[in-house]
Amino acid sequence: MSVQTTERVGLQNAQQLRTKTLPTWSPWAVAAAALVVSFVLVYLTSWGGAVLTGVVAAVLFVLFLGIAATVVEGSRSARNRMATTLIYGAFLLALAPLISVAWTLISKGTTRLDGNFFGTSMNNIGAFDEKGGAYHAIIGTLEQAGIATLITVPLGILGAIYIVEYGRGFLANAIRFFVDVMTGIPSIVSGLFILSFWVFTVTPLFNNGQARYSGFAAALSLSVLMLPTVVRSTEEMLRLVPSALREGAYALGVARWKTIVSIVLPTAGPGIVTGVMLAVARAAGETAPVLLVAGGLSSINFNVFSGNQSSLSLYVFEQAGVASEFAPGRAWTAALTLVVLVLVLTVAAKLLARRNKLAR
């Protein structure tokens, strides 16, 4: 067989193995066709609005693309294309609520982004007053969340270290069980617990028999909510640290406690920080505990241990129920402020966590 004949046979075999594929512009054409058909069937017939038109168009897009791929590429490639389309669709569907919330917050929360909102409180502000801000609520949120973090983070990390590094048997299993139970506790229950224990039992001992509401009581209530999240997230991060790191330190004669402090915790640091910030975000957005044990206040109170105190989440709740045309703008701006505050704290904590040597 000559060389030319061999090349001709090889070319024929390659052409037989080459499969047909849809052009790169075909998904866009199918999407346009699906949108046009959905617009005619749903929107022009007044059967539904823009949302239903989009849903029907998405379903038709998957069907049309599957049919086109089956005809041109075959059933196997068609199933692959449909599966890929469904995965991308699920991603966009999950992303849509986040984008919607962010757009709503930004569009409605910028109405009161001014110095008066961040520099004044609601003291002596009536229903017909355009001014009034959330300075007192911002102070309350920072103090309450800060104290709750100072209480919860050491306890949560130490509890997780005991479960992973030292705990064996009944006690470790009991701690893990009660942490899991506490994870599902409603926020109102933690508020009622601190109300009955701290406000009605402890504070009368130091105030001539009178119960006192305070921001510190709100911080205690928030710490009850934060603790299980910190413990569980820290536990999972510590379990992800390779055993070889611990064994290498032990082989060099490093003590167990020093291995945990110098090797295990820095390695798991970024994950621990993420868990802590998730707990802080949940605590900063709670309303019921603050309402129960701090009472709320329209004026500024820097003393977290004495007197009523407000928070941004409680401020949003109060403004949403006020019969005033200016209240919704304050509520949306306070909600945007709370989200930005949590975002800034999360980014700052992440940047600080990257500074340790083992996390680089």
Cα 1 to Cα 151: distance, rounded to the nearest angstrom: 85
Residues 48, 171 within the same domain: no
Query: Please, how many CA atoms are within 13 Å of residue 280, restricted to the half-sphere of its CB?
Result: 27
- The half-sphere exposure of 79 on its side-chain side, counting CA atoms within 13 A, is 2
Listed residues 60, 82, 109: the one ending a domain: 109
How far are the Cα atoms of 1, 99, 296 from residue 12, in angstroms, in the given order?
A: 16, 52, 82
* Rounded CA separation 89/222 (Å): 37
Domain assignment present for 81: yes
Domain C-terminal end among 109, 137, 168: 109
pLDDT at 17: 44
360 in a structural domain: no
The CATH number that applies at residue 200 is 1.10.3720.10
- In this structure, are 212 and 260 located in the same domain? yes
Q: Are residues 100 and 23 in the same domain?
A: yes
pLDDT in tens, the chain (360 residues): 555 555 554 545 544 445 677 778 888 888 888 888 888 888 777 777 777 888 888 888 888 888 888 888 778 888 888 888 888 888 988 888 889 888 998 998 888 888 888 998 888 887 778 888 899 999 999 999 999 999 999 999 999 999 988 878 788 888 888 888 888 888 899 999 999 999 999 989 888 888 889 999 999 999 999 999 999 999 999 999 998 988 888 888 888 889 998 889 988 888 898 889 889 988 888 899 999 999 888 889 999 998 899 999 999 998 888 878 888 889 999 999 999 998 888 888 878 777 554 444
Torsion sign, CA atoms 110, 111, 115, 120? negative
Do residues 164 and 99 both lie within one domain?
no
Q: Are residues 93 and 185 in the same domain?
A: no
**Among 109, 142, 175, where does a domain finish?**
109
Structural domain harbouring 62? 2-109
Identify the burial level of 297 via C-beta atoms within 10 angstroms of its C-beta, where 0-12 means exposed, 13-18 middle and 19 or more buried.
buried
**Interatomic CA distance for residues 203 and 306, integer angstroms:** 10
Whether residues 27 and 54 fall in one domain: yes
CB atoms within 10 A of CB 76: 11
Retrieve residue 38's tokens.
């959905």
Domain count, the chain: 2
- In this structure, are 234 and 335 located in the same domain? yes
- 102 shares its domain with 122: no
Q: Are residues 178 and 71 in the same domain?
A: no
